[in-house]
Homo-oligomer: A and B are copies of this chain.
């Protein structure tokens, strides 16, 4: 009986104490016709020993390979210090529950307070929650929060740039649409790739908006004129919601400094702060805001307080916002944070520090720039937009993107994100990223391979995949 400690003697003694004959008798209040028959569970395989499941999982993990990755598009392959996960997976962090009993959870609570402090430092805002599911759902919470928090307008409309990650736009829609909010997409400038104020103006029309979402850098890696966009939002009674990459913030102006008054809310994906790519999750979304909106902030929040002896300590606070107290009137239904990931992110930021993060950002940027040079030297490959970029680069291709990506993948190179399906007007186009992990040799390997593929187009393979 894996993970069950009961000996035959234990079972007998326990049944005797309860006063029943068998464990089966403990289920006697359940209508008998509901009890499941063994055949119903036949689809579940028999137990494996740890040795057997280890063999199986190792084989499957090997199948997925370790290709050379030039995809960014919202998830970034950064170096993660060895200390990060060695500490984060310590049992005391890994197997602890939500710190409801604060006195028995000071480790987690203090760490969350430190995380909040780091995120406010990075974003330049006053308050941070202790994380949400991921960047996209954090944006959805940010939008809901902005609509609730905006006292200048009752508008339920929110402007979002088309140059925002397509998956973020989809997630936003799925989460906020049942509440009747309206999303208005703002197109980007076809030459610059940025979102000009004029486009905001046009999209907004004459109606008020509750919030404007500003993405820096945007999905194409293009740097937006965030000061103007923020000021426009404030001038139009809208709150400004920043969607930012926390590593980029080591170099770029923090949302709290945008425009005359600063963005009101900042959110984004914390994955670049020490979380493995892991096929998309678990990651962690972060959400920060100005002090005046803190009681509208969803998710867990940790505060510093004092104990009976006047000694400082940490506790979950503002719980009156949360579902377990406020039920249907809560700021959100959320009742977890991504504790383990935040543990990793906090240790990661402590190890990197501001200068370390800045170096990571600068190296990513330089590597992507260098990749742009190398790929740009291939006939027919050229930058899609002319404005300055950060850390990510959109390229026009001389051949169908999907086919090229398939051929690259066959050589264990993940060439980037195909922009065509989401932005048909840009097709064939590719979004590439080279983090600090990529070496010059790897950049050249990519460029040489792509050059060869473009020069000698091959019949695409059948796309068959092998089974495990």
Query: Nearest chain-B residue to A87 (Cβ)?
Result: B91
Within 8 A of B (CB), among A68-124: 79, 81-82, 86, 89-90
Complex CA distance for A378 and B86, rounded to whole angstroms = 48
Measured as residues with beta carbon below 8 angstroms from the partner, the interface class of chain A is 10 to 19
Whether A21 is near chain B, meaning CB under 8 Å from some CB there, is no
Q: B residues within 8 A CB of A437?
A: 51
Q: Does A22 contact B (CB under 8 A)?
A: no
- Confirm or deny: A54 has a beta carbon within 8 angstroms of a beta carbon on chain B: yes
Q: Which of A13-52 contact B (CB under 8 A)?
A: 49-51
User: Does A436 sit within 8 A of B, measured CB to CB?
Assistant: yes
Q: Which residues of B contact A79 (CB under 8 A)?
A: 49-51, 54
Tell me, rounded to whole Å, the shortest Cβ–Cβ distance linking A180 to chain B: 48
Complex interface: chain B residues within 8 A of A55 (CB): 439
- A54 — which chain B residues lie within 8 A by C-beta? 79, 82
Select one of B81, B89, B436 contacting A86, CB under 8 A. B89
Distance, CA A89 to CA B90, complexed state (A): 10
**Residues from chain B with Cβ under 8 Å of A86 in the complex:** 89
In Å, the complex CA distance between A82 and B58 comes to 13
Could you tell me the distance between the alpha carbons of A305 and B79 in the complex, rounded to whole angstroms?
48
- In the complex, chain B residues whose CB is within 8 Å of the CB of A81: 50
A437's closest neighbor in chain B, by CB? B51
From B50, B82, B439, give the contact of A50 (CB < 8 A): B82
Chain A 427-454 interface 0/1 with B at a Cβ cutoff of 8 Å (1 = within):
0000000001101000000000000000
CA distance A228 to B437 in the complex (A): 64
Q: Which residue among A51, A54, A90, A437 has the maximum number of chain B CB atoms within 10 Å of its CB?
A: A51
Contact: B50 with A436, CB < 8 Å?
Answer: no
A92 to chain B, nearest CB (A): 10
Q: Taking the nearest CB of chain B, how far is it from the CB of A263, in angstroms?
A: 32
Question: CA separation between A49 and B363, bound complex, in Å?
Answer: 13
Assembly CA distance A55 to B442 (angstroms): 12
How far apart sit A467 and B437, CA to CA, in the bound complex (Å)? Answer: 24
Which chain B residue has the least Cβ–Cβ distance from A79? B51
Give the distance in Å from the alpha carbon of A51 to the alpha carbon of B55 in the complex.
Answer: 28
Which residue on B lies nearest to A62, using beta carbons? B66
CA distance A196 to B59 in the complex (A): 47
- CB of A302 to closest CB in B, whole Å: 25
**Cα of A429 to Cα of B47 in the assembled complex, Å:** 40
Residue with the greatest number of chain B CB neighbours at <10 A, chosen from A79, A89, A436, A437: A79
**Interface residues, chain A, CB within 8 Å of chain B?**
49-51, 54-55, 79, 81-82, 86, 89-90, 436-437, 439
7 contacting pairs across A/B (C-beta < 8 A):
A49-B79, A50-B79, A50-B82, A51-B436, A54-B79, A55-B439, A90-B90
